[in-house]
Amino acid sequence: MPQLADTDDDLKYSVWEQRCKLEMTLKALESVAKRGGSAHNLPENHYFYITFVTKECKKGIPDWLHTKYPNDLTIVLQYQFRNLEVNRKRKNISVSVVFNGNEENLVIPWKALTRFDDPGAKITFLLGNSDTYQHSEHENLSLKDADSNSPVSSNVIKLADFRPSRVNSPS
């Protein structure tokens, strides 16, 4: 993310804008973390897509995720997550999510964040890395989110894909 020197007399609107977007992202995540940091603590109709550069998460994500998604990854915080924490001292976000029935702990540095979406609030923030980082080779294969009609990276991991299918019984 661009840095602003204290002695700089120029008006750095783009830098200030990025700081504001990051701060709003962190406030949204902290709000859920303070309520308990799990799927049960999301305000009604809210859930989050968080896109980040996997190369910036050297030790923060499992090796298999680095291998499968070498450039960027979007996770969805909606149904199966817990232990959400925003660490302002270390400048990272940590969360436990379930992949293929296994819980994985992710630690995502703020500098890795490229996008934050809350479809329930119809909010999308393109963050620091989005200006300089070009999304992976999947860039042109975007998905559409049914709620917000905003494009979402093709590297979205849909947690519903990992849940057992339910058979609706007739009532």
Q: What is the pLDDT of residues 47-100, one digit of tens each?
A: 889 999 988 888 888 888 888 888 888 998 888 888 999 999 999 999 998 888
- pLDDT for position 83: 92
Mean pLDDT rounded to a whole number for the chain: 75
Task: Flag the least confident range among 13-22, 84-93, 137-146.
Answer: 137-146
CB distance 81 to 39 below 8 Å: yes
- pLDDT for position 86: 94
| Residue with the larger pLDDT of the pair 136 and 33 | 33
Instruction: Enter the DSSP assignment of 101.
Output: T
Cα separation, 29 vs 42, whole angstroms: 10
Domain layout of the chain by residue ranges:
16-121
Specify the CATH number of the domain 16-121.
2.30.30.220
Strands (E) in 54-166, as ranges, are 72-77, 81-87, 92-99, 102-109, 113-118, 123-126, 143-144, 151-152, 156-157
Q: Which two tokens stand for residue 65?
A: 């995720």
Helix residue ranges per DSSP H, the chain: 13-35, 63-68, 129-132
**Percent of the chain scored above 90 by pLDDT?**
25
- In terms of C-beta density within 10 A (0-12 exposed, 13-18 middle, 19 or more buried), how is residue 153 classed? buried
pLDDT beyond 50 at 163: no
